[in-house]
Structure 1
Amino acid sequence: MEKQIKQENTLPLKISEMLKMETDLQKSEQRYRRIFEDSIDGLILWDNQHHIVDINLAGEKMLSLPKERLIGLRLYDLYTHHESNIQEIIKHFEQVLNDGHSTSIIMVEKEDEKKRYFEYSSKAEIVEGLNFTVFKDISEKIEMQEHLRKSDTLNVIGELAAGIAHEIRNPMTALKGFIQLLEGSIMKEHSMYYQVITSELSAN
């Protein structure tokens, strides 16, 4: 009888513990769901066949498609008009599955759109059968780097041109000096040539 009473007393305790664990689990899930959805970077969960299982709001905006249309697709299904895009994304995913992680910068181009650059950082098996990718649009950063590179190139060309002009001017100065020294000894019949030479040197 005493044993039965003890069992009856522990039963509600076990139920309340299970309820608390379930409540805590729901709160934890809601917390991580909020973090997932509110991230400013695109977040994708995908399976080992490369199909999208879940994607957050930032990811939807960057890919210009709603979650309902993206789930079940493979990321490279969006770029069927550009084989190089498909191969680059497949290469990234396969590297993740083989090495456990990968980071890549991939240029993508949808039909009738300008080129865009995305940085993908992925990790395999965050839970069994699911892989995780963080991606962000770095097109503006790449364009800025390209502008800076072109600007640096133009600066180098400018410095080179200035140096060449300086090197050209030096011998011209010497030639002017020699011509002036020869002025008195040049015969009258050659004076026309002298005038042409000095006028050309003055123009440079």
Structure 2
Amino acid sequence: MSDFDKIRKSVSFLMDDNFRPSLILHLNGDIYSENEPFKIHFDMKNKRNINEIINPTSMHDWTRFSERAGNSEHTLMEITLISFLDKEKSPVQMHLFYIPEIKKIIAMFEVPGLKKIPSLKTYYNAFKQSANFMLLVDPLGEIIDVNEMHTVFINQTRDELIGHNLVKVLAIVDSDNSEPLETHFEKVKEQGSVQSITTYQRSPDDTRYYHIITYYDSDTNMFIVQLSDATEKENLQVQLAHSGSLSAVGQIAASIAHEIRNPITTLKGFTQLLKVSATEDSIRYISVIEDEIERMESILGEMLVLSKPSEKKKSVFSLEVLVSDMVSILSPKAVMDGIEVVQQVELSNNPHIFGDPDKMKQVLLNLFKNALESMQVGGKLSIHLLESDEKLILSITDTGKGMTRHQVSQVFMPFFSSKPGGTGLGLPFVLKTVEDHGGTIAVESQVGIGTKFILTFPKAKDGASAPLKSKQSIVS
């Protein structure tokens, strides 16, 4: 470390962490160094001694201070800077400090009305402590510095980034972008900044959305690249899109319900009349018509559920008991299809949730039925209920054919179904009901391995507190 660096380090608390213009001076008045605010506000060309800055009257005070500086004295002086003589006559205070360890004098100026300029260290700290991933890049694309968020965003060390080209980072987070770096930099210079949103697969189960902004600093001829995590915002937009779709379906259902139900009622009446005089062959055809009419009513009923607000007739009930009841109802079908059902409960007591038990039964019925229909003989349906803090977590896992990423992203969209003859309204109903109960639902799936639905619900404040040990039951 050079003598200059040692001196700068010794007085950094005065020179770097201060908004005031400041100088480091030799005892003879020669200027050793100046901080950024001094450089910004004062013209220092060809000025290398204190006598070129202060007027002759104040020079007498300076000489008196420097002569007795060995006593480590501090004094306050009112002087007039020569740089200001042509414009203003306002007196400027100068604080003088003598530091015997380095045998230098610190001069700090209090200029009335002077706009405070943050030090370079302030900006550097903002760069380092930012919650976003920041990169400092030279005009050739070489990465000069990065902040501490590199491992969080792209799991790369400083050594793997500094000295390398920015193209390396862009290839990781935005591999589909084929624009040359030179072209990108030219756009940034012309527009001041360029931004984009990119999708980054951080792990097989973790998709992130990164907002990338590139800035150009003409003073230093450097580029600053900032990556912020916009995943939550993008997910909220997807949820809003889903909500909008559900709202649209509800409006359509409500508007056509009356028109559809009237002809359906008429058709049902005439099929009953036709049965009286129909032949045996005709009755078979009429039965088919009745089945299709019933199916139309079922579809209409599902659509109307989406359009209606949740009823206020709610109560406190045990989710564990509800799950067990629905498993009992479906167990005969599971046995017939050769599917094993494993139910596991891990609760320290018997917590309850607040809501509509009838709608929750329909939610469980839809999820269990979908799981069973996705599996063949030898499949396994695992139902796991546990508690975490103030929430209950219910996971429903099957070993069926699974879904692609595209199918998972569309699974709650109305009318989207991967089952032949499916209406695509079951899971939108599930989503709406879970959210109406203050809960959340997530999906994990892999093709050929299976699908897992994870539902969370807040505990009811007045839930039952009877002790219940962890247990596991198997229905096969």
Q: Tell me the residue number matched to 1:140.
A: 232
- 1:71 maps to 2:162: yes
Aligned residues: 183
- 1:191 maps to 2:277: yes
Q: CA deviation at 1:88?
A: 6.2
Q: Structure 1: any 5+ residue segments left out of the alignment?
A: 1-9
- 1:116 maps to 2:132: no
Segment drifting more, 147-156 vs 109-118: 109-118
Segment drifting more, 108-117 vs 120-129: 108-117
Contact 2:174 2:198 in 1 (8 A): no
Per-residue CA deviation, residues 87-133 of structure 1 (Å, 9 max, x unaligned), is 26947544213433222222234685743211122221343331122
Q: Distance in 1 between matches of 2:159 and 2:30?
A: 40
Q: Distance in 1 between matches of 2:134 and 2:170?
A: 19
**What's the C-alpha RMSD, in Å, of the aligned pairs?**
4.1
CA 1:23–1:103 in structure 2 vs 1: closer, same or farther (change >3 Å)? closer
Q: Distance in 1 between matches of 2:173 and 2:152?
A: 21
Q: CA deviation at 1:138?
A: 0.8
The 5 A counterparts of 1:21-170 are 21-22=34-35, 28-78=119-169, 80=171, 84-87=175-178, 90=181, 92-109=184-201, 114-170=206-262
CA 1:200–1:52 in structure 2 vs 1: closer, same or farther (change >3 Å)? same
Q: CA deviation at 1:162?
A: 4.4
Q: Distance in 2 between matches of 1:111 and 1:24?
A: 47
Q: Distance in 1 between matches of 2:268 and 2:244?
A: 36
Identity %: 28
Q: Distance in 2 between matches of 1:92 and 1:200?
A: 65
Q: Normalising by structure 1, what TM-score?
A: 0.65
CA 1:74–1:113 in structure 2 vs 1: closer, same or farther (change >3 Å)? farther
Contact 2:268 2:290 in 1 (8 A): no
Contact 2:141 2:167 in 1 (8 A): no
Larger RCO: Structure 1 or Structure 2 (Cα < 8 Å, ≥ 6 residues apart)? 1
CA 1:138–1:50 in structure 2 vs 1: closer, same or farther (change >3 Å)? same
Q: Tell me the residue number matched to 2:464.
A: none
Secondary structure of 1:118's aligned partner: strand
Q: Tell me the residue number matched to 1:14.
A: 30
Q: Normalising by structure 2, what TM-score?
A: 0.32
Q: CA deviation at 1:70?
A: 0.9
Q: Tell me the residue number matched to 1:7.
A: none
Q: CA deviation at 1:136?
A: 0.5
CA 1:47–1:82 in structure 2 vs 1: closer, same or farther (change >3 Å)? closer
Segment drifting more, 154-163 vs 138-147: 154-163
Secondary structure of 2:159's aligned partner: helix
Per-residue CA deviation, residues 10-67 of structure 1 (Å, 9 max, x unaligned), is 982233xx34x15978x93333322221122222211222221111113443222222
- One-letter code aligned to 1:54: D
Q: Structure 2: any 5+ residue segments left out of the alignment?
A: 1-25, 39-117, 298-476
Contact 2:174 2:200 in 1 (8 A): no
- One-letter code aligned to 2:197: I
Q: Distance in 2 between matches of 1:88 and 1:154?
A: 39
Task: Please state which structure has a larger fraction of its residues in helix.
Answer: 1
Q: Distance in 2 between matches of 1:165 and 1:172?
A: 11
CA 1:154–1:31 in structure 2 vs 1: closer, same or farther (change >3 Å)? same
- One-letter code aligned to 2:208: R
Q: CA deviation at 1:169?
A: 0.9
Q: Tell me the residue number matched to 1:5.
A: none
Q: Distance in 2 between matches of 1:83 and 1:133?
A: 13
Task: Please state which structure has a larger fraction of its residues in strand.
Answer: 2
- One-letter code aligned to 2:223: N
